[in-house]
Amino acid sequence: MGTERFNGFPPRADYSAVPTLLLTRVMSEIKDIAELKVTLYVVQAIYHRKGYPRFVTYGELAGDPVLLNGLEDGTKAPGEVLRQAIDRAVARGTLLSVKTGTQEFLVVNDEAGRRALPRLAGGAVTVSNAPAATGPPPARPNIFTLYEQNIGMLTPMIAEELRAAEAEYPPRWVEDAFKEAAALNKRNWRYIARILENWATEGRESGKPGRHPKKRARPEDYYKGRFGHLVSR
């Protein structure tokens, strides 16, 4: 089946600034299409950020369905393709990456990005106080941002599990499950997944974050079931 023909850009279409050197030199050296897509995505995302420093996180990239759909190649999971594309761009030097205890930040390797890197590496900036993108903010944090804020750094394997959970459960449930685990000081994904499984199986009252419809969830409730052997006590 052929690709549907693009109907063209609308009047007053939004534009993003791209370094001329990227188009005139670097692009001809990039042989991997996923690396090129991720590089252009990061450049565009950072261009539309406000404030300083301007950056994107791995979680933002892993949580964008448009980007991930564009990275599918039929042989690898999109998360794996994304990870390899980022690593190639960093190795090439078009992007810079710094990992803190909980997050991975990406910046363009330009003057502003190089100045921002020590600040990001020093922990002065977190996802919670990141400069916002232009345009209306999302209604609530996506599952990838919640994971980075409450648990730690994403890996491709965890990103695939989060993507599956995001497709299966309502956004409010996901957010409330993270809150429930944080309130019990059980900050790991398997525990949160078990909360969601319990809610899906036994039901829950809407509008009451972290509550079972019949009783308050107890920590021992989540050591049972399919994920029980994987949950840290």
Residue-range domain boundaries for the chain: 16-134
**Can you give the pLDDT at residue 206?**
46
**Can you give the pLDDT at residue 160?**
83
CATH domain 16-134 topology: Arc Repressor Mutant, subunit A (1.10.10)
**Can you give the pLDDT at residue 84?**
95
**Can you give the pLDDT at residue 15?**
81
- Exposure string for 90-111, b = 16+ CB within 10 A, e = fewer: eeeebbbbbebebbbbbbbbbe
Determine how many CB atoms are found less than 10 A away from the CB of residue 189. 21
**Can you give the pLDDT at residue 88?**
97
pLDDT, block means (10 residues), the chain with 233 residues: 76 83 93 96 88 88 89 87 96 94 89 90 67 45 82 82 84 89 89 91 58 45 46 45
**Can you give the pLDDT at residue 50?**
79
**Can you give the pLDDT at residue 130?**
53
